[in-house]
Structure 1
Amino acid sequence: MHFKLLAKDKDSEARCGILTTGHGEIHTPIFMPVGTVGTVKAVHARELKQDIQAEIILGNTYHLYLRPGTEVLQAAGGLHKFNAWDRPILTDSGGFQVFSLTDNRKITEEGVIFRSHIDGSKHMFTPEKVMDIQRKIGADIIMAFDECPPGNSDYRYAKNSLELTQRWLERCVARLDSTEPLYGYEQNLFPIVQGCVYKDLRERAAEHAVALDRAGYAIGGLAVGEPTEQMYAMIEVVNRILPQNKPRYLMGVGTPENILEGIARGVDMFDCVMPTRNGRNGMLFTTEGVINIKNQKWERDFTPIDPAELCYVDREYSKAYLRHLIKADEILGLQICSVHNLAFYLWLVKEARQHIIAGDFMAWKTSVLKKITTRL
């Protein structure tokens, strides 16, 4: 894996680059559609490639481990072969999902014992096992196994949690470095910088991660209940320490505004379920503002979903037709909303990239945010 910086904004920490993997190039800043169980909900791989122009998607270790299972994935030749996606894949370690099972898991020094949300069966994730699972899934970028503390954690809990995460990270590194990829291409580990909203813990976590000298780094444990300004402050703290010549991934974030503010603070990679999840509930992000397509005001609006025509659904379908589909509970409506919202997110980061290169990113960010955050 190689990361090449191409340009940096003169008025902020925003930058753009190219991340090269065994399955192709990723132009940063980038948004990564979430394909938790091996598919981006309601979206074909063809649409992701041709219309949305996604360059990388995500899978989730916890969900793929439980179903279809690593034996099936390995027999298929890895997730790329299984889901017919020939571009890069990143897998989350499943740590967030495991720790969200508050009543069905037990944290130990060795790892986490948990019960499946599917059938109640008992399992254990250790740092070593999670590395082995991600090897079998076959992602180009794999995440370290960590504990994600709640956003309102007190200092003592956050400190103890971070220390456990750091010990687990060292075990992840040791395991990955002692094993080989299964499918003939490189797999790279990103440590996850935790520390909740405490500056000294975030600094300690970032310094520890950098000392392990990996291909890239992730910032985790944000957008989990803390105020937005604290999230931005923690990004700034961490990015002052993370190396300039390696990619930075802000996990699970977020709104279009969050993404642009993250880019301004030096983040390169983002993911979030918001475009597809909100889309399935009738919320559309457009270049003109935010639309609740269920509202009656769109009943006779025969104009395109987005005048910018970000993808084929904008050219082929009107707001009135889309509203009809959503109100009638037609599956096609969920698909159209999902495709459009993902196209919007990819358009947003592509525009950001162009304005970083042009040298007017901050002025553009200010103007575009006023428009795209307006409720229509």
Structure 2
Amino acid sequence: MLETLVLDRGSEKPLFQQVYEQIRDLIIDKSLQGNIALPSTRALAKDLRVARNTVMIAYEQLETEGYVTTARGARARVAELPDLPKAESIMPLPDLSSSLSKRGKALVDLEHQTGFEQPLRLQPGLPDNRDFPSANWRRAMSHQWPGDVGKASGYHSHGGDSSLRRIVSDNMRASRGIKCQPEQVMITTGAQGAFNLLSQLLIDPGDKIMMEDPGYTGARGAFLAAGAQIEPLKVDEKSWDLDSIETVKPKLIYVTPSCQFPLGKIMRIEQRLSLLKKARAVNAWVIEDDFDSEFSFLQNRLTTLQQNDTTGRTIYVGSFSKTMIPDLRVGFVIFPGKVVKNLRKASFILATHPPLSLQRGV
């Protein structure tokens, strides 16, 4: 009955697994009919010239998965299984794209501005990494793994590594004038992780949000995935069309005021103050994407929108993609102090943090 079983003793695959797989396949293709008694473990082990324990383990797995049934004092029997379709009669798999949700279709149709198959030197958002200190980075990462790996394992604190949050807080206070504490900083998987997090926290399906047009498709994709209804905040070579905010009454407004993406325009102070005033009037959150603040031809860096905000409704997003390399996928969000208290727990549930060792290496 099981004369066809052939074991390859030179294979890396364990003998018990070979026995299990070959008997399983015989049952599936009906070479072994239902209710047929299999040889005893002792008899089959003798025929195959293997230890009895090898056959016992194979039989146990067959029973666990339902291919055979066993009873005390009786030989294992092949289970009665429904007929499986033959390979030639299997229907072709459906096209998943035809079953996508409206949000899924919108995401698929987005024209992404990153992730080109071939590297392009003029690709936006791609820094020159020829001077990246690779040796220093390798040393920094190696220091994050102590001899006892157990001390480095486990789940890290909500919001990201406390040391990195403190460094971000100190750096933003010194370089960008943002008054914040480490508790207001949340480390994310790149700026995109920040947009995904904010979309899940702030947007309900059908909520109106406004984002720059033209604007960054990564943020647009995150908002679409949350079910937002996106309204354009028109930007031209002169200014942002802020008058439309009072008409749309959005729940959230996304802007890149220090270097508009992709036009490169700077939002002047009168428009910044007007934006904040209108956002307050319609009770909207403002996401300030400061994606390349480290690169400025001005002697002094531009003031952030969050610095101008006295109402605590501006959420600042930054990342290390431009100063280091995009593949690190380490970004951060700075929340207004009054809303940050319970958000770190939500970020942990949404799994928006990069690995702890990577955070400490940065």
Query: What TM-score comes out, normalization by structure 1 length?
Result: 0.29
Give the structure with the higher percent strand.
1
Q: Which structure: larger Rg?
A: 2
